[in-house]
């Protein structure tokens, strides 16, 4: 028998997403949202009809050869498309999504199955038409594909109120519970590919919160119990024992999705062990595997070394950002929002083509940006020439902004996103006049929509040591980096906040790694930041190559903004003098390599601050120079 939906979370999140917020975003973010909608989201199913047709063809003979994760494409695509629609309310995109959801749910079988595999191999190991991957036996990531469909459908249901999507999601959950709940002869664990196929724990706990159906909660808790069965990830017990994520049995990036189930279970039940494990794993990921550009993992897994030069896969960074949204909800720590901003503005924009048409597979700290359709072309098939795990996932780095830009906590609003545009909530209209992150001044006009008082908390990033905030011209006292500044009052039309952030350069310095660097007096590889933006050396903007990059002087570094008169303009371009007096140009990381050039973000800097240790107050490991 169906239960009534739960009206309130047993554990109220510290921060909750403002699902009723309306956005009108300008600047670079607004442009990117428009371009990815027109260039990718709207044409993608027509250019790649197999995204849907693979479900219709699943029982045809001969069987189609597929990668193990083929069933994820439609769900990942739907997820980012819904999130971007939340940010734009684009009418054409809304109609497109209503059509796409209708096509997708029409492909669900009577028993609730919504995958691409033949009947004999559904939710089992060893499908004969499954391409071997990573030299492992054929293990379709079938439950993984259903998980991504559930996430996309739940987002669409919550945003558009489409009951078809909720019914479809429940039928998937019912299939999983009928098949695996309290069935020792056939467990979800037995389907293999554990870090992938255990991901439905996240969607099941979420669905339980929406419906109150106890079977979904029991199935989620059963999956958490199966985490401990070898060779699965043991995420709960390993974290409670103090192990870092990179030291767990399954440190691949896909594990972040079942780990997010721990956060949802805490919200649904109040299980403190789930909360403690989730938070411990997040901090260990931040310490060991978040790179200077905000990207996550090396070679698709955690290594415990944020300077590891392994590929920084798009899917890994997107999963890190999604997990960070959960961390922000749980803890309300402004430093988590700082991390989301770092990832979005650097690796998140960098993994997207400036045109919005394609995404990378690898967005390295140094090197080239290549389209995923080239580097992981092995995933393409007839009917899906552009589809791969990253192409259907990358735009979510932008879409996730709808979850964290403005949030709600007891008594008021929390503003995390800075950028030109307007955010409208039932409490107030927040209009930002700014060129941030090009500059550090943000003017916010607060127009209340009722006479009730409320608190507005604005984010003070941890890298902004000297932040000045004025309310109606009067300096606000007690502003502290790495926290929120809260103003609680009865607001009036015309109230203004002015935020001046500290945009002096700051550095993340590494120890010397080559004999030449070791021999050079007082020279270390360093990443240079201006505000939240990582700067990069791109030969497109100068005559010399990266190998000829002169040493910069951290004690005297001054950045002068310059313009590029050529057609391929970066978002931000600076000129500075090297230690030998030559001129060097640095651009923002998101623009670096747009012309196909090889860029560098670890620059030779003398007199840079000594490498700073990781702390929870300074995860960027950054320090100010003497400028």
Q: Which residues contact 560 (CB under 8 A, 6 or more apart)?
A: 574, 575, 576
3-state secondary structure 505-544: EEEEECCCCCHHHHHCCCEEEEEEEECCEEEEECHHHCCC
First to last CA, the chain: 67
Q: How far apart are CA 527 and CA 552, in angstroms?
A: 11
The H-or-E segment that residue 561 falls in is strand 560-561
Tell me what pLDDT residue 41 has.
98
Tell me what pLDDT residue 72 has.
98
Torsion, Cα of 67, 68, 70, 73 (10° steps): -120
pTM of the predicted model as reported, rounded to 2 decimal places: 0.95
The H-or-E segment that residue 320 falls in is helix 314-331
Report which DSSP code applies to 579.
T
Q: What confidence category does residue 13 fall into, taking pLDDT thresholds of 50, 70 and 90?
A: low
Single out the residue of 198, 215, 188 nearest to residue 123, CA to CA: 188
Token pair in block for residue 542: 């100068």
Taking the CA atoms of 584, 461, 155 and 171 in sequence, report the sign of the dihedral they define. positive
**CA 283 to chain CA mean position, Å:** 16
Average pLDDT over residues 473-497: 96
Secondary structure class of 498 (helix, strand, coil): strand
Using one digit for the tens of pLDDT, what is the confidence trace for 296-324? 999 999 999 999 999 999 999 999 999 99
Q: What confidence category does residue 565 fall into, taking pLDDT thresholds of 50, 70 and 90?
A: confident
Ordered structural domains, the chain, with CATH = 16-406 (1.50.10.10), 410-500 (2.60.40), 505-624 (no CATH)
Asked if pLDDT for residue 237 goes beyond 90, the answer is yes
3-state secondary structure 458-479: EEECCCCCCCEEEECCEECCCC
Q: How far apart are CA 350 and CA 370, in angstroms?
A: 11
- For 253, what's the count of Cα atoms within 13 Å in the CB-facing half-sphere? 23
Tell me what pLDDT residue 40 has.
98
Tell me what pLDDT residue 626 has.
58
Asked if pLDDT for residue 2 goes beyond 50, the answer is no
Using one digit for the tens of pLDDT, what is the confidence trace for 147-168? 999 999 999 999 999 999 999 9
Q: How far apart are CA 395 and CA 406, in angstroms?
A: 19
User: Is cis: bond before 231, omega within 30 of 0?
Assistant: yes
Per the model's pLDDT, the better-predicted residue between 465 and 514 turns out to be 465
Asked if pLDDT for residue 519 goes beyond 70, the answer is no
Average pLDDT over residues 597-607: 95
Per the model's pLDDT, the better-predicted residue between 391 and 547 turns out to be 391
Evaluate whether 458 touches 443 at the Cβ level (below 8 Å): no
Long-range contacts of 103-109 (CB under 8 A, 24+ apart): 103/52, 104/52, 104/55, 104/74, 104/78, 104/149, 104/153, 104/168, 105/153, 105/164, 105/165, 105/167, 105/168, 107/52, 107/55, 107/56, 108/168, 108/171, 108/172
Per the model's pLDDT, the better-predicted residue between 542 and 135 turns out to be 542
Q: Which residues contact 350 (CB under 8 A, 6 or more apart)?
A: 293, 360, 363, 369, 589, 590, 592, 593
Report which DSSP code applies to 296.
B
Q: How far apart are CA 54 and CA 560, in angstroms?
A: 53
Q: What confidence category does residue 10 fall into, taking pLDDT thresholds of 50, 70 and 90?
A: very low
Q: What percent of the chain has pLDDT over 90?
A: 85
Per the model's pLDDT, the better-predicted residue between 132 and 244 turns out to be 244
Evaluate whether 70 touches 121 at the Cβ level (below 8 Å): no
Number of CB atoms found within 10 A of residue 374's CB = 10
Tell me what pLDDT residue 32 has.
98
Single out the residue of 150, 137, 144, 135 nearest to residue 117, CA to CA: 144
Tell me what pLDDT residue 49 has.
98
DSSP 186-212: S-GGGGS-HHHHTTHHHHHHHHHHHH-
Tell me what pLDDT residue 6 has.
34
- Estimate the crossing angle of helix 73-88 against helix 27-36, to 10 degrees: 140
Q: What confidence category does residue 261 fall into, taking pLDDT thresholds of 50, 70 and 90?
A: very high
Q: What percent of the chain has pLDDT over 70?
A: 94
Query: Across the chain, how many H-helices and E-strands are there?
Result: 20, 21
Average pLDDT over residues 341-361: 97
Q: Calculate the average pLDDT of the chain.
A: 93
Q: How far apart are CA 373 and CA 363, in angstroms?
A: 14
Secondary structure class of 292 (helix, strand, coil): coil
Tell me what pLDDT residue 345 has.
98
Tell me what pLDDT residue 293 has.
98
Q: How far apart are CA 412 and CA 288, in angstroms?
A: 34
Tell me what pLDDT residue 521 has.
65
Q: What confidence category does residue 285 fall into, taking pLDDT thresholds of 50, 70 and 90?
A: very high
Secondary structure class of 299 (helix, strand, coil): coil
Asked if pLDDT for residue 9 goes beyond 60, the answer is no
Asked if pLDDT for residue 596 goes beyond 70, the answer is yes
Tell me what pLDDT residue 546 has.
76
Q: How far apart are CA 283 and CA 247, in angstroms?
A: 13
Taking the CA atoms of 414, 416, 417 and 420 in sequence, report the sign of the dihedral they define. positive
Largest CA distance in the chain: 77
Tell me what pLDDT residue 5 has.
37
Using one digit for the tens of pLDDT, what is the confidence trace for 203-234? 999 999 999 999 999 999 999 999 999 999 99
Tell me what pLDDT residue 380 has.
95
Q: How far apart are CA 198 and CA 582, in angstroms?
A: 55
Q: What confidence category does residue 11 fall into, taking pLDDT thresholds of 50, 70 and 90?
A: low
Tell me what pLDDT residue 137 has.
47
Using one digit for the tens of pLDDT, what is the confidence trace for 94-142? 999 999 999 999 999 999 999 999 998 899 886 666 665 554 546 789 9
């Amino acid at each position: 028998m169906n239960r009534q939906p739960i009206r309130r979370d047993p554990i109220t999140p510290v921060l909750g997403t403002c699902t009723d917020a309306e956005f009108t975003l300008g600047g670079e973010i607004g442009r990117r949202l428009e371009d990815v909608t027109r260039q990718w989201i709207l044409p993608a199913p027509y250019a790649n009809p197999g995204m849907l047709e693979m479900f219709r063809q699943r029982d045809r003979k001969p069987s189609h050869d597929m990668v193990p994760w083929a069933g994820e494409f439609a769900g990942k695509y739907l997820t980012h498309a819904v999130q971007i629609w939340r940010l734009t309310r684009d009418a054409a995109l809304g109609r497109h999504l209503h059509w796409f959801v209708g096509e997708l749910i029409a492909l669900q079988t009577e028993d609730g199955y919504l995958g691409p595999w033949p009947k004999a191999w559904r939710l089992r190991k060893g499908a004969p038409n499954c391409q071997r991957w990573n030299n492992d036996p054929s293990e379709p990531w079938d439950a993984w594909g259903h998980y991504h469909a559930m996430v996309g459908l739940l987002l669409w249901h919550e945003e558009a109120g489409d009951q078809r999507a909720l019914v479809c999601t429940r039928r998937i959950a019912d299939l999983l519970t009928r098949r695996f709940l309290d069935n020792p002869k056939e467990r979800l664990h037995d389907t293999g590919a554990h870090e992938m196929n255990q991901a439905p724990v996240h969607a099941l706990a979420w669905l339980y919160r929406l419906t109150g159906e106890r079977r979904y909660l029991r199935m989620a808790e059963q999956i958490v119990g199966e985490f401990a069965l070898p060779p699965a990830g043991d995420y709960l017990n390993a974290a409670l024992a103090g192990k870092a994520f990179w030291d767990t049995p399954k440190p691949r990036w896909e594990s972040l999705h079942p780990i997010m189930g721990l956060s949802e279970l805490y919200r649904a039940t109040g299980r403190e062990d789930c909360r403690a494990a989730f938070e411990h794993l997040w901090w260990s990921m931040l310490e060991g595997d978040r790179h200077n550009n905000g990207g996550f993992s090396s070679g698709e897994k955690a290594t415990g070394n944020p300077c590891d030069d392994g590929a920084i896969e798009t899917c890994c960074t997107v999963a890190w950002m999604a997990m960070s949204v959960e961390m922000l909800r749980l803890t309300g720590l402004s430093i988590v929002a700082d991390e989301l901003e770092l990832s979005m503005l650097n690796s998140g924009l960098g993994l997207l083509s400036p045109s919005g048409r394609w995404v990378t597979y690898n967005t390295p700290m140094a090197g080239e940006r290549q389209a995923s359709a080239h580097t992981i072309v092995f995933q393409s098939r007839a009917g899906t020439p552009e589809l791969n795990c990253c192409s259907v996932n990358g735009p979510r780095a932008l879409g996730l902004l709808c979850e964290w830009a403005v949030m709600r906590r007891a008594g008021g609003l929390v503003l995390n996103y800075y950028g030109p545009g307007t955010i409208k909530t039932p409490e107030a209209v927040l209009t930002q006049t700014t060129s941030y992150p090009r500059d550090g001044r943000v003017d916010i006009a607060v127009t209340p929509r009722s006479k009730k008082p409320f608190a507005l908390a604005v984010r003070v990033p941890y890298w902004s040591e000297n932040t000045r905030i004025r309310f109606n011209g009067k300096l606000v006292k007690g502003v502290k980096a790495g926290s929120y500044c809260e103003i609680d009052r009865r607001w009036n039309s015309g109230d203004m906040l002015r935020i001046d952030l500290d945009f002096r350069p700051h550095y993340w310095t590494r120890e010397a790694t080559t004999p030449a660097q070791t021999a050079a007096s007082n020279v270390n590889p360093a990443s240079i930041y201006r505000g939240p933006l990582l700067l990069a050396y791109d030969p497109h903007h100068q005559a010399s190559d990266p190998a000829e990059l002169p040493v910069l002087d951290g004690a005297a570094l001054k950045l002068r903004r310059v313009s590029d008169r050529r057609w391929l303009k970066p978002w931000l371009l600076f000129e500075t003098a090297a230690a030998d007096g030559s001129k060097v140009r640095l651009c923002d990381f998101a623009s670096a390599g747009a012309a196909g050039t090889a860029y560098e973000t670890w620059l030779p800097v003398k007199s840079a601050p000594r490498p700073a240790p990781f702390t929870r107050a300074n995860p960027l490991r950054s320090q100010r120079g003497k400028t």
